[in-house]
Amino acid sequence: MRGRLALALALTAVMLPCMSETPSQLPKDSDGKVMFQEAFMVENVSEPELYARAKAWIKAKCSPQTIMMTDMTDGRSEATISLKDSFPAHPIAKDNQQLVYFILTIETRESRARATFNGFTVATSKDLRQTLLEPFLEGNAAAPGVDKLPGEITAKVQSIIADLKAGLAVPAPAAPPAPAAKPG
């Protein structure tokens, strides 16, 4: 019994520093910019169909201000779709909310997809001038609500990835039939 208690205490002592770490640590790329990336399988789906599913997901789920850039390369088994979107985050004051902007790039290959979130900027609903996320977090670390922002970003990205995975599992809507040629 003493051995188990000692083991439990040792594990607790090791885990406490990890649990007390601030959630403000966001994943970063080699340049120190916030970047989330996840690759996943979509079994038995051709690349053109997966690309069509990704485009359908974007059209169905993204906000009207989305800027969509598409690039499907014929003759190669990969395609890329990028969009710029935003979501409201932590309220700062009664009528002022932080807005987080990001770029989502979806790359498709035969039965595989990869989602990359980067280009994060932040603004407020009262002042729409965007600031890069990394300097904003460092410079405003003591400001109320800023400590919640990394957790909110992580949760939103995870939610979007889960929704994207579900969307890529559903066949894309069929294209409307071509109009019949008029006799003539």
Q: What are 165-180's pLDDT values in tens digits?
A: 999 998 877 656 656 6
Q: What are 99-126's pLDDT values in tens digits?
A: 898 888 888 888 999 999 999 999 888 8
DSSP-based three-state secondary structure for 13: helix
What sign has the CA pseudo-torsion 12, 14, 16, 22? Answer: negative
Task: Name the amino acid, one letter, at 148.
Answer: K
Parallel, antiparallel, or unpaired for β 112-124 and 96-109?
A: antiparallel
pTM of structure: 0.74
Nearest Cα to 101, choosing from 59, 138, 126, 133?
A: 133
- The mean per-residue pLDDT over the stretch 36-42 comes to 95
Q: Could you give the CA distance from residue 85 to residue 153 in angstroms, rounded to a whole number?
A: 13
Q: Could you give the CA distance from residue 132 to residue 118 in angstroms, rounded to a whole number?
A: 11
CB 63 within 8 A of CB 85: yes
Is the pLDDT at 155 greater than 60, yes or no? yes
